[in-house]
Amino acid sequence: MRSYQIALLFALVLIESSWGHLLSIGNVHPDLVLLAVISWTALRGATEGWIWAIIGGIGLDLLSNTPFGLSIISLLLVCLFVRVAHSRVYGTSLVLPLLLTFPMSVAYYALSMLFLTMAGYPVDWNATLLHIALPASLLNTVAMPVLFPLLRAVHRRTLLRVSI
Could you read off the pLDDT of 99-126 as tens digits, one per residue? 999 999 999 999 999 999 999 999 999 9
Q: How confident is the model at residue 90 (pLDDT cuts 50, 70, 90)?
A: low
pLDDT of residue 3: 84
User: Length of the chain, please?
Assistant: 164
79's CB contacts (< 8 A; 6+ apart) are 37, 41, 46, 49, 50, 52, 53
The CB density around residue 17, as the number of other CB atoms within 10 Å, is 15
Say yes or no to pLDDT of 163 above 60: no
131-152 residue pLDDT tens: 999 999 999 999 999 999 999 9
Q: How confident is the model at residue 4 (pLDDT cuts 50, 70, 90)?
A: confident
Query: What residue spans define the domains of the chain?
Result: 3-163
pLDDT of residue 132: 96
Transcribe 68-118 into DSSP letters.
Answer: TTHHHHHHHHHHHHHHHHHTTS--SSSHHHHHHHHHHHHHHHHHHHHHHHH
Residue of 48, 46, 19, 16 lying closest to 34 (CA atoms): 16
18-45 residue pLDDT tens: 988 888 888 899 999 999 999 999 999 8
* pTM, full prediction: 0.92
pLDDT of residue 157: 85
Say yes or no to pLDDT of 86 above 80: no
Query: Which H helix or E strand runs over 9?
Result: helix 3-18
Mean pLDDT for the stretch of residues 61-72: 95
**The domain over range 3-163 is classified in CATH as 1.10.10.410:** no
121 phi, psi to nearest 5 deg: -80, 140
